[in-house]
Amino acid sequence: MKIQSALISVFSKDNLEPIVRKLNELGVTIYSTGGTQSFIEGLDVPVTAVEDLTSYPSILGGRVKTLHPKIFGGILNRRDNESDQQEIAEYSIPNIDLVIVDLYPFEDTVTSGAPEQDIIEKIDIGGISLIRAAAKNFKDVTIVASKNEYLPLLSLLEKKGGESDLADRKWFAKQAFDVSSNYDSAIFNWFAEEEEEKSLKISVQESRTLRYGENPHQKGTFYGDLDAMFEKLNGKELSYNNLVDIDYAINLIDEFKGETAVAILKHNNACGCALGTDVKDAYLKALAGDPVSAFGGVIVSTQPIDLAAAEELNKLFFEVLIAPAFAADALELLKGKKNRILLKRKNVALPTSRTKTLLNGFIQQDKDNKTETAEDLKVVTKVAPTEEQVKAMLFAMKVCKNTKSNTIIFANDNQLFASGVGQTSRVDALKQAVDKAKEFGFDLNGAVMASDAFFPFPDCVELADKAGVKAVIQPGGSIRDQESIDYCDANGMAMVTTGVRHFLH
């Protein structure tokens, strides 16, 4: 089907010029209005004003421009329907074979913090109607609903001389409905953002197919714009498991903004985490926490990677390294392993909630954004923790809240000593942490212990005491809290409660 007429009405004019010139070269009649019409006229390309076609001006401050039977009749008429053709002939309605239209930037306006009235004015009416009409009639009409489709359209015009086949038009229609559904979801979510009970509307237009899912026999896809969050400087394509680990790594390292911190994760859990005087120091302390599990892990730093740190990192096989920047000499060294993934993190806002499929639906919750401070701690024992113990407990709890339940964390001097993770009982998690500390040569005498939930029995503090732990941080809230407190009092241990549980499943 040859394109003989086109309606162009867009908000963004970027990269539009080559299309307009090509349409003119092909002898296509162009209709337009407002700023787009002025843009086309500025190119010295003939254009017919929509107002001349409809005999109606743009009214209501531009709210009504293209909403007219001569426009929608030209788009929606079925070329092979005799009745339709008789009607458009009767009312002198010209066919419109190509519609190029985009939508007001509603999401960008919301993100900018604009006042409500400005946001409402960016709810597109004419554009969304044109998109739906042209996409519905894809049998006869080509619809371009986003500047992202400008290049495919230009390629089509050049390769096929202004003609399109049904498969072409159906592809453009699919893209158009992707645009319109995403737009409507964004508007709904803005209206419903303060409601406690609402429909769940998730619409993400960017996606990338992964090599596979959690296992090779599973398909995997990431939905989102990874390029907005990371610049990949080296390495193979990210896998499903890489992405899950990276998510946990980012959540953990963001607990230490403004500090020099390095964390090493494996299967979503930190096997090393420490603060240091520089990145090299922090990394070596983190690595000491479990150098066995660190093999093949994901490493993340709050600070840029310099050469000194890179020389140490280069000694370890790891999958991914994330940092806000890389020194040129450090990057050159680390790129020596072609599959090693190096990600430069960009400053991008992260979601404030978490959503996942469950049974035949979804569940959604706020992210656990509670990070304890010294003011949140309630001393419940006769012995109060020292200032250094308080610092150690707050560090330990940051790691604890980002580790799979049930979890126990041992730490001191801003360094993770050992962890027990993902156990079905808290005492098993504690035993695992004690064994790990011994395996990697950590002396727990004077260390602190953090727990993501309360102790149902005093056995955990008793085992910690025998291992050398002298201070404990935990949420509290068990009906048998006093038994654990009494044990601490009888054995000279300090305990604080936070009142906040940090389950993570």
Instruction: Give 84's strand partners.
Output: none
Of 149, 64, 152, 53, nearest to 96 by C-alpha is 53
Q: Is the bond leading into 406 cis (omega within 30 degrees of zero)?
A: yes
Tell me the C-alpha distance between 20 and 98, whole Å.
12
Q: Residue 471 forms beta bridges with which residues?
A: 448, 494
**Among 22, 122, 170, 267, the one annotated catalytic:** 267
Q: Pick from 500, 420, 422, 503: which is nearest to 463 by CA? A: 420
The Cα–Cα gap between 173 and 160 comes to: 18
Q: Give the closest residue to 254 by CA, choosing from 127, 369, 175.
A: 369
Listed in sequence order, the residues at least 6 apart from 410 whose beta carbon sits closer than 8 Å to its beta carbon are 396, 416, 417, 418, 419, 433, 434, 437, 442, 444, 447, 448, 449, 469
Catalytic residue among 136, 170, 344, 431: 136
Residues 6+ apart with CB under 8 A from 472: 393, 448, 449, 450, 451, 461, 464, 488, 493, 494, 495, 496
- Copy the structure tokens of residue 81: 């329907």
CA–CA gap between residue 36 and residue 328 (Å, rounded): 45
Whether 201 is a known active-site residue: answer: no
Distance CA 459, CA 478 (A): 14
Alpha carbon distance 488, 411 (integer Å): 18
Which run of H or of E encompasses 318?
Answer: none
217 tagged catalytic: no
Q: Of 114, 119, 124, which Cα lies nearest the Cα of 146?
A: 124
- Amino acid identity at 183: Y
Residues in the chain: 505
Q: Give me the active site residues, please.
A: 136, 267
